[in-house]
Amino acid sequence: EGYKKLDDKEKIAYLEIDYGYYYNYRGDFEKAKLQFEKALAIGKEINNGYLMASAYNGLSGNHSVKGEFKEAMSNTNEVLKIYKEKDNPWGIASVYLSMADILNDQGEYEEALASYYKADSMYKTLGLEKIRNSVANNIGTIYFYQHNYQAALQQFTKIQAALDKNNDDPPFQALI
């Protein structure tokens, strides 16, 4: 509670978000939701789009872990609106990745694949090759579970080629 003595509302809101993730991690989803909602209210009060996007992201994750996918997607759509208003292509790509994860969790595999491919295309345009490996892994996993082994192998081979190309990157090698 000592952090509330801060005068900077933005910092307070980001602390609320941090506490929200902490409570989510601990399994106290209602406390987490309250923290994210407090941050969102502050973001709206001070008209800070990125802060609101962070709070909506937290709420989306909070709903997802509880299986409340409609609410999760609704919050994710709010993040998308903000990043589109801000003309933030990295943020938009990240939202498509989040949407794909939500769809995947619901078993909506074709829609998830479409969203993963959107995110991948944007990351490619932005030159963010490393994150594309994560997206390819998600795509490959869906194909694998659909017994489309050739398509899965294409994705996993793409990852291996990227890892071979960047073999000087120890954190990435550790993921293999």
**pLDDT grade, residue 4 (50/70/90)?**
low
Q: For position 173, what pLDDT does the model report?
A: 43
**pLDDT grade, residue 5 (50/70/90)?**
low
* Distance separating alpha carbons of residues 159 and 164, to the nearest angstrom: 9
Q: For residue 4, give both structure tokens.
A: 């509330």
3-state SS, residue 112:
helix
Residue 58 has pLDDT above 90, yes or no: yes
Q: For position 13, what pLDDT does the model report?
A: 96
**What is the overall mean pLDDT for the chain?**
91
Kindly tell me the sign of the dihedral angle through the C-alpha atoms of 22, 28, 29, 32. negative
Residue 170 has pLDDT above 80, yes or no: no
Q: Give 41-53 as a 3 state SS string.
A: HHHHHCCCHHHHH
- Interval 9-28 mean pLDDT: 96
Residue 50 has pLDDT above 70, yes or no: yes
Nearest C-alpha neighbor of 154 from the set 113, 108, 123, 104: 113
- pTM metric for this prediction: 0.84
Q: For position 165, what pLDDT does the model report?
A: 81
Half-sphere exposure of 16 (CA within 13 A, CB side): 26
CA-based end-to-end distance of the chain: 42
